[in-house]
């Protein structure tokens, strides 16, 4: 996607210090785009431009800045009064997000500049575990009384709504216990004198503060929600989660899944903002582990050295066998991992999954084996005149291929499900891990068949 | 995530034909859960239970059914009157989604049972290309006149709002041209006599009907939107896209990316609902292609047969070298593919990406090479008493390892960016593809170094 604004022009305005024109241009822009533009500037310019923004816009822009070090320097450059103005405009959950990324001295300065009630709410939100629903919720929601009329409720929304993240879904509570929800749409379509308790939806989806935030985000896409209430152990409403935060969680978790599947330790910074050393740290552990575990394949080959010596052509098919085995296994594992994360499959389906994968594997194995037999006979033997490629050698290779594909698919589908069962993230069981196992398996099968069929 | 309802109990009620109790239980359930439950039943039961649902709920449940064949049979079982009632309750974009999955005779029956204006809107929506913004938008939105007051606008929302997918964001138009948006929140917080034109936001994000739906979905998460207007070439408002549809697109596209990265052709059905033959069809093409392209690695090995004969121990390190190379390459490619799809990186960043990857690769290469040298000396030579593993052989293997890691990371980061540049989906350039290239590269490096250093 391309920028919705002219970056070059804005940069030019900054360079020429044409601040009046710049201010005008910024007024026409979306807050996310302004943040993107600020991220391109160096800190001194950033502070200058940030001061040009009207208060309410400044706060929104601030939450979208990518670079936490810049955020920190920006806070450092603001006077207490300016900081208070920005904080006043922020939604509570955004303030908490910022605080989580800041060093202690900045945090205490932020807390000093918020009022007592906000401060206690912030402290409460900071206490929820990192991956819990509590950590992504906000305590700023509209609650209504079941005995209030629609007219009274609209008056209440007008009075308290400005600071709330959403006013469209209101929560009906009595003694803080969640009784139901009512949307502004329902209220708009009802008569003014209707009692809220009579039009509220009592069949409410809710989560508890300690639920995993990934499961919560999945509920948004499963049920098509825009907001979800969060309750404590006694069914008392303590906060709400809005769809934009759920989308952020889904995006983060998807990136994490991609990383895990590529044997990268998850990082939470954008690609180009992660330092070389940091990137190295996230990549080397799995590379090292997988490299050292390849010791087994080495041992297998060494112990069949005499067989390989007797029939050297066998060596040339090792990369093809392990490659095809790895690809077959990773197809199954990725398909199962994705199905698990979308809740299409759970552990109790393990036999159905296994049965399906075995049938697919046999089909794939027969096709690949057949194609490879023809290729070895036509290309290797006939076109390239390689006398070592006898029909018997081709048979050994193709039998190995079929068995490897079947084993690879069985390993590929069972490992992620077993991981899910014992509470490990199935994404870790993707391609690199499977490939290493399948490499060893395919060699064992290869040499077993070769020694039998070729009598070496 | 576990079901929010007791599946066994519901099944028991169906089996015992306790329809009154069943109806009561269904009334307490979310429409998505009811659809999930219906998906578990066979078609005759499904039709029976579906008839128990109140009209408005029935329509919603219908859109959430996973199995299009069941949807088709259900439509077949409904009388024209019942079908009309369901269709009346459906949002237009859901009707279009259903029509897209149905055979021609069912489509014509559906169209026969909708009124003329709906039918022409459906036909219009069906005409947009499959992956365009137009294909996921709905034409049911609330538009307001800039000269109307807040009070008049609320009256309008009450009058027309019931059938609209969202009433919270209203679109201000004049002669169908989009002038701005105004949210119900803004209206609620303004005086009744305020003119809409004075409170509308004129700085509106919008897309055209032909924009790619994946880019559009990304805009929702980038800007935290709940609805986005769609305009034609003359800036006339033709529809809106809501956040739930954007989330569906993101989920679909993520699944597709996972599949492409695992060398699977994308399918749009859930894992367990895809038949064995269908699954085979989506997996065999890439497996076949990658297997046949492994011919090159075979040729490389064959042409260095004499070198391998002179020093057989070299063979035992081939799987480790190609495995580590493949893993290194896929780390880079997946990181870059994800960054591309999140718009963190674009083609113009290619040099920055390359420079970063080279530095990371050198760091990784040195660590892996060093660790491997120690492992070969300590484990292979000293502990396992393998006299063939000389320091010179270890040097050859470790030099190859370092060079392979660097090459793999360079290939891994440039191929996806090149693909993006020429308009191929970068996800195709993930692990399996990279692995095949890196396999051949690592062998070429290996034999070149071995023949030089070992003089064989």
Task: Check: CB of residue B6 under 8 Å from CB of residue B37.
Answer: no
Between CA B385 and CA A424 the distance in angstroms is 38
Token code pair at residue A412: 């590929």
Closest C-alpha among B291, B441, B280 to residue A397 = B291
Complex ipTM: 0.76
DSSP state of A263: T
Below-50 pLDDT ranges, chain B: 1-2
Would residue A285 count as lying in a domain? no
Between CA B243 and CA B245 the distance in angstroms is 5
Least confident of A147-151, A444-448, B122-126, B225-229: B122-126
Closest C-alpha among A417, A442, A361 to residue B283 = A361
- What percent of chain A lies above the pLDDT cut of 90? 24
> What is the structure's pLDDT at B1?
36
Question: Are residues A203 and A321 located together in one domain of the fold?
Answer: no
pLDDT at A1 over 50: no
What CATH number should be reported for the domain holding residue A198? 3.10.580.10
Would residue A101 count as lying in a domain? yes
Contact A292 B334 (CB under 8 A): no
> What is the structure's pLDDT at B260?
82
Q: What is the DSSP string of B92-149?
A: HHHHHHHHHHS-HHHHHHHHHTS-HHHHHHHHHHHTS-TTBHHHH-BS---EE-TTSB
Q: 10 Å Cβ neighbour count for B238? A: 21
The residue written with tokens 């896929």 in the block is: B330
Q: 10 Å Cβ neighbour count for B339? A: 23
**Is B303's Cβ below 8 Å from some Cβ in A?**
no
Between CA A353 and CA A339 the distance in angstroms is 11
Q: What are phi and psi of A384, to 5 degrees?
A: -100, 5
Question: Are residues B160 and B115 located together in one domain of the fold?
Answer: no
Between CA A370 and CA A265 the distance in angstroms is 39
Least confident of A4-13, A344-353, A422-431: A422-431
> What is the structure's pLDDT at A77?
84
Contact B255 A167 (CB under 8 A): no
Question: Are residues B37 and B90 located together in one domain of the fold?
Answer: yes
Task: Check: CB of residue A236 under 8 Å from CB of residue A253.
Answer: no
**Is A294's Cβ below 8 Å from some Cβ in B?**
yes
Between CA B422 and CA B87 the distance in angstroms is 43
Which of B127, B160, B184 is the last residue before a domain boundary? B127
Closest C-alpha among A71, A3, A17, A53 to residue A273 = A71
A418-441: buried (b, 16+ CB within 10 Å) or exposed (e) per residue?
A: ebbeeeebbbbbbbbbbbbbbbbb
Between CA A262 and CA A430 the distance in angstroms is 7
Question: Are residues B434 and B304 located together in one domain of the fold?
Answer: yes
What CATH number should be reported for the domain holding residue A14? 1.25.60.10
DSSP state of B195: B
pLDDT at A350 over 80: yes
Would residue A288 count as lying in a domain? no
Size (chain B), residues: 456
Would residue B397 count as lying in a domain? yes
Token code pair at residue A109: 């300065």
CA torsion through residues B343, B347, B349, B354, sign? positive
Q: How far lies B425's CA from each of A408, B261, B416, B422, B430, in Å?
A: 27, 10, 8, 9, 10
Question: Are residues B13 and B95 located together in one domain of the fold?
Answer: yes
Q: How far apart are the first and last CA of chain B?
A: 60
Going by pLDDT thresholds of 50, 70 and 90, the confidence category of residue A286 is confident
* pLDDT tens digits, one per residue of A3-59: 567 888 888 888 888 888 888 888 888 888 888 888 888 888 888 888 888 877 888
Q: What are phi and psi of A296, to 5 degrees?
A: -65, -45
Chain B residue whose CA is closest to A167: B185
Closest C-alpha among B249, B243, B408 to residue B341 = B249
Structural domain of A206 = 143-251
Residue B117 buriedness (CB in 10 A; 0-12 / 13-18 / 19+) = exposed
Which of B181, B216, B245 is the last residue before a domain boundary? B245
Task: Check: CB of residue A170 under 8 Å from CB of residue A198.
Answer: no
Of B30, B319, B327, the CB nearest to A432: B327
Show which of residues 249-288 on chain B sit within 8 Å of chain A, judged by CB atoms: 250-251, 254-255, 257-259, 261-264, 270-272, 276-277, 279-280, 283-284, 286-288
Question: Are residues A43 and A94 located together in one domain of the fold?
Answer: yes
Question: Are residues A313 and A430 located together in one domain of the fold?
Answer: yes
Q: How far is CA A173 from the centre of its chain?
A: 34
> What is the structure's pLDDT at A57?
84
pLDDT at A391 over 80: yes
A408: Cβ–Cβ under 8 A, 6 or more apart, which residues?
A: A325, A326, A328, A329, A332, A361, A434, A438, A441, A442
Question: Are residues A97 and A202 located together in one domain of the fold?
Answer: no
Token code pair at residue A310: 């007797």
Would residue B109 count as lying in a domain? yes
Residues of A in contact with B215 (CB under 8 A): 1
Would residue B281 count as lying in a domain? no
Question: Are residues A227 and A300 located together in one domain of the fold?
Answer: no
For residue B90, give how far its alpha carbon lies from the nearest alpha carbon of chain A (Å): 15
Between CA B389 and CA B314 the distance in angstroms is 9
Question: Are residues B71 and B210 located together in one domain of the fold?
Answer: no
Between CA A167 and CA A240 the distance in angstroms is 11
Q: How many CB pairs under 8 A join A and B?
A: 353
Q: What are phi and psi of A377, to 5 degrees?
A: -70, -45
Would residue A259 count as lying in a domain? no
What Rg do the C-alpha atoms of chain A give, in angstroms? Answer: 30
Question: Are residues B371 and B301 located together in one domain of the fold?
Answer: yes
Which of A198, A231, A251 is the last residue before a domain boundary? A251
Between CA B143 and CA B131 the distance in angstroms is 26
> What is the structure's pLDDT at A101?
79
Q: How far lies A404's CA from each of A86, A390, B286, B324, in Å?
A: 61, 21, 17, 20
Question: In the sheet that B207-208 helps form, which strands lie side by side, from edge to edge?
Answer: B207-208, B227-231, B237-242
What CATH number should be reported for the domain holding residue A449? 1.10.357.20
Instruction: Give, for A393, the enclosing helix (H) or strand (E).
Output: helix A391-422
* pLDDT tens digits, one per residue of A74-100: 888 888 888 888 888 888 888 888 887
Contact A318 B319 (CB under 8 A): yes
In angstroms, how far apart are the furthest CA atoms of chain B? 94
Show which of residues 33-92 on chain A sit within 8 Å of chain B, judged by CB atoms: none
Task: Check: CB of residue A98 under 8 Å from CB of residue A110.
Answer: yes
Between CA A161 and CA A158 the distance in angstroms is 6
Question: Are residues A426 and A307 located together in one domain of the fold?
Answer: yes
Between CA B98 and CA B86 the distance in angstroms is 12
Q: What are phi and psi of A195, to 5 degrees?
A: -80, 135
Would residue B138 count as lying in a domain? no
User: B393: helix, coil or strand?
Assistant: helix
Number of domains in chain B: 3
Size (chain A), residues: 456
Of B168, B218, B317, the CB nearest to A1: B218
- Counting Cα atoms < 13 Å in the Cβ hemisphere of B310 gives 11
**Is A378's Cβ below 8 Å from some Cβ in B?**
no
């Amino acid at each position: 996607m391309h920028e919705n604004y002219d970056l070059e022009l804005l940069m030019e305005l900054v360079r020429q210090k044409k601040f009046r024109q710049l201010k005008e241009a910024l007024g026409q822009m979306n807050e996310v785009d302004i943040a993107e533009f600020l991220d391109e500037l160096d800190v001194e310019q950033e502070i200058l431009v940030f001061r040009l923004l009207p208060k309410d816009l400044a706060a929104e822009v601030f939450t979208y800045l990518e670079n936490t070090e810049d955020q920190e320097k920006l806070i450092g450059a603001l006077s207490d009064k300016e900081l208070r103005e920005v904080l006043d405009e922020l939604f509570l959950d955004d303030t908490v997000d910022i605080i989580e990324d800041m060093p202690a001295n900045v945090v205490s300065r932020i807390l000093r500049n918020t009022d007592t009630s906000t401060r206690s709410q912030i402290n409460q939100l900071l206490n929820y575990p990192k991956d819990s629903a509590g950590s992504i919720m906000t305590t700023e929601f509209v609650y209504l009384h079941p005995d209030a009329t629609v007219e009274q409720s609209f008056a209440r929304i007008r009075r308290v709504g400005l600071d709330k993240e959403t006013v469209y879904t209101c929560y009906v509570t009595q003694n803080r216990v969640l009784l139901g929800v009512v949307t502004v749409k329902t209220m708009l379509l009802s008569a003014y004198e209707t009692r809220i308790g009579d039009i509220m939806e009592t069949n409410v989806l809710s989560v508890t503060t300690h639920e995993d935030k990934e499961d919560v985000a999945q509920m948004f896409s499963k049920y098509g929600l825009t907001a979800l209430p969060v309750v404590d152990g006694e069914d008392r409403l303590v906060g709400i989660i809005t769809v934009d935060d759920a989308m952020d969680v889904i995006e983060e978790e998807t990136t994490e899944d991609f990383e895990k599947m590529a044997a990268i330790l998850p990082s939470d910074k954008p690609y180009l903002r992660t330092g070389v050393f940091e990137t190295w740290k996230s990549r080397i552990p799995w590379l090292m582990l997988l490299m050292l575990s390849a010791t087994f394949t080495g041992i297998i080959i060494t112990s069949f050295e005499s067989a390989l010596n007797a029939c050297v052509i066998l060596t040339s098919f090792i990369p093809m066998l392990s490659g095809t085995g790895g690809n077959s296994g990773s197809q199954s594992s990725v398909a199962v991992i994705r199905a698990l994360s979308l809740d299409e499959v759970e552990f109790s389906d393990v036999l159905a999954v296994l049965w399906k994968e075995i049938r697919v594997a046999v089909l794939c194995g027969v096709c690949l084996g057949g194609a490879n037999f023809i290729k070895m006979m036509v290309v290797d033997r006939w076109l390239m005149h390689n006398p070592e490629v006898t029909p018997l050698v081709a048979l050994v290779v193709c039998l190995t291929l079929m068995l490897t594909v079947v084993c690879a698919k069985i390993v590929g589908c069972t490992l992620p499900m077993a991981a899910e069962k014992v509470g490990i993230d199935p994404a870790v069981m993707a391609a690199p891990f499977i490939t290493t196992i399948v490499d060893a398996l395919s060699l064992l099968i290869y040499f077993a068949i070769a020694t039998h069929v070729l009598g070496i």
